[in-house]
Structure 1
């Protein structure tokens, strides 16, 4: 029985754990945060389904539906209710051409995917992580939450992972499914160039209103803000309850506002301040009658990888240097942004372990 240690319990790490446990390996999954899932995080309360992280995956993905089928939740997949989108440039909202919104926002997806929309799960994207968590628990994977790996060393017969607070894990093979900077810290000199891998930060604020409070018909997926009008980094707004069914109780709507925050604002502003900024930002675009009933604030500091040719080449160089060492990389930090890319990366890493 092979011992496999996975560093990082986001989507990719969970997939590798699921696949390798199913293959009969002895698997340990170590995650520094107190929960699994990384940027897949859905909150459900009072009839609201609110995404704190990714809201979906590219509609033409084959990898995500295949994984959902393997987990028994293929029937929970849902698509968009509408594909119409709008733009704001200081005046009334104007309808955009298919794919124009994603292109203007710089989404890192193939051009052929623009305008095709996204898919998600009936209860939110965390439904995928929850199914993975159930599967790996059933398979007796050794899951260690709130546990950081402080170092990775080669030892006779494999690898030793030292854990914060004491203790260690021994493994025959290791999969690194962390952000690029985390891989650089663990792998040392071969990965040092990844320490400064480009990333972006994001803050999103979801606001819930009685439907009657919003004058606009909300007959689309939302709107993007032209670059010249992105005050305080406000880039876009999703009409969540128009885009996906079942996201709010009857008579209510939710809108999710996206900000590219100034680093100082990300550091100093609390949730109440971000919610107030979101209200003011929305009021610049739509006529709103009254304050929101609820607000949810999500912060992602340096969490969104940016893929440049230089970064892609550094990853290829690192993977060449790791060949034959029993260490693999998995996840969107290395092999392409977005849920589909993360799933394909994890599936590939899990399959490559067969050859080690």
Structure 2
């Protein structure tokens, strides 16, 4: 039990993975913590649904094993024997173009021979170490950065689909420093991304042998992690069906949390891990500026369309993780994961499961389509990609996320700084979650590890955003 944590009461608002991880770490550090979740189940967008022998992820598909905070949490809640590494073939990834699927290069030598980019496009990338670094200036979009350092072709053919696969966003509007701070720091420290990658590889080699990062999940899907946290924390620590209606300030250092189905909680700290609009509503009474800045964080809508087929219906099955669609190709999907090839037990024997993401910042209108039309549209995309007749799937499932992935647009870090400054005089009131600290499961869980110490030392949770 951490020194100074005795008798300090904390309310965590929101029972997604950010809230669950924060609750677990705070409880381990000796805080008296309760997590209030408005829904009747915890986990937020993390749901793993078993239907007709298929396992469909509603949200995140996995995480990289190099993100050790996720593995620590999994092992701490008793999931060590349920950790599942992806199949070796998941290293192969593709882009879809006018002629079908093209495999992306898997190594620098392979890159020089790969036709995803033209010869001129590949030569332009090789010039990157000799391009002068940016001096001064404010925030920069991912597109502007990519064009400046790697050229237009690489920006449109490589950076665009990469960003689509993570953020479902528009690279002309998203902030490089907020979305990919490591890439921004490579240029700042080494004057070049390629030089930064070489330096990182040398440092890793000097540190000794390490295992290669692998895409990782759990035997029962990502929901295993949610269930593990809830099971260890118990019903007092994770309270479901308790939507928070108001935060009342009590004196200079306490808060009364009003939520349905129970008495208000009097606490020393409130940690909000809710979507930005919910956090905005709760803080606006106490800080209109913070409420306004939180309201300005937009989300890209998305629909998950999972389609299952008998394996013999795929005329050209390819090993791999899946494919992405550059926005310039004007396809009707952002990308498709080959779920049953990535992880075992995602489809019945003799069947394949594909999971497409539709909508995003480029095509938000597609998320309003009905389920039948979405399935037909995705089936047509798969038919084109695989050169097979796949218009009538043997299994289908559609999940809608009108408020999908938070968009870290140019100026996002300034927005976060303004929120932090606006909350500065409100002792004990904190904002976290994937709208603030990073969109991935790994970033949210990694940030949760820092929360006990940040509360102990009186720092804002957004210190590391």
Q: TM-score, normalised by structure 1?
A: 0.90
- Counterpart of 1:329 (choices 431, 440, 451) is 431
Deviations 1:335-356 (A, max 9, x none): 1121111111222223323335
Structure 1 residue 64, shift from structure 2 partner: 0.7
Which of 1 and 2 has greater Rg? Answer: 2
The answer for the alignment partner of 1:124 in structure 2 is: 221
Structure 1 residue matching 2:18: 3-state secondary structure: helix
* Contact map agreement 2:299 2:406 (CA 8 A) in 1: yes
For these two proteins, the number of residue pairs brought into alignment is 351
1:137-176 correspondence runs (5 A) = 137=234, 141-156=236-251, 158-164=254-260, 167-176=263-272
- Does residue 48 in structure 1 map to residue 54 in structure 2? yes
Structure 2 stretches of 5 or more lacking a match?
1-6, 108-156, 167-178, 184-196, 201-211, 459-465
Further displaced range: 164-173 or 253-262: 164-173
Q: 1:299 to 1:293 in 2, by over 3 A?
A: same
The answer for the alignment partner of 1:288 in structure 2 is: 389
Structure 1 residue 101, shift from structure 2 partner: 6.5
* Contact map agreement 2:376 2:392 (CA 8 A) in 1: no
- What CA distance in whole angstroms lies between the structure 2 residues aligned with 1:95 and 1:142? 47
The answer for the alignment partner of 2:126 in structure 1 is: none
- What CA distance in whole angstroms lies between the structure 2 residues aligned with 1:142 and 1:94? 49
- Does residue 243 in structure 1 map to residue 342 in structure 2? yes
The answer for the alignment partner of 1:258 in structure 2 is: 357
- Counterpart of 1:314 (choices 377, 399, 415) is 415
- What CA distance in whole angstroms lies between the structure 2 residues aligned with 1:218 and 1:101? 20
Q: 1:193 to 1:289 in 2, by over 3 A?
A: closer
- Does residue 23 in structure 1 map to residue 29 in structure 2? yes
- Counterpart of 1:300 (choices 393, 397, 401) is 401
- What CA distance in whole angstroms lies between the structure 1 residues aligned with 2:100 and 2:34? 54
Q: TM-score, normalised by structure 2?
A: 0.70
* Contact map agreement 1:26 1:141 (CA 8 A) in 2: no
- What CA distance in whole angstroms lies between the structure 2 residues aligned with 1:317 and 1:203? 32
The answer for the alignment partner of 1:355 in structure 2 is: 457
- What CA distance in whole angstroms lies between the structure 2 residues aligned with 1:70 and 1:166? 30
Deviations 1:233-286 (A, max 9, x none): x1211111111122112111101111125444433x332222222212222222
Structure 2 residue matching 1:332: 3-state secondary structure: coil
- Counterpart of 1:105 (choices 158, 162, 170) is 162
Structure 2 residue matching 1:124: 3-state secondary structure: coil
Q: CA RMSD in A?
A: 2.5
- What CA distance in whole angstroms lies between the structure 2 residues aligned with 1:271 and 1:350? 43
- Does residue 207 in structure 1 map to residue 295 in structure 2? no
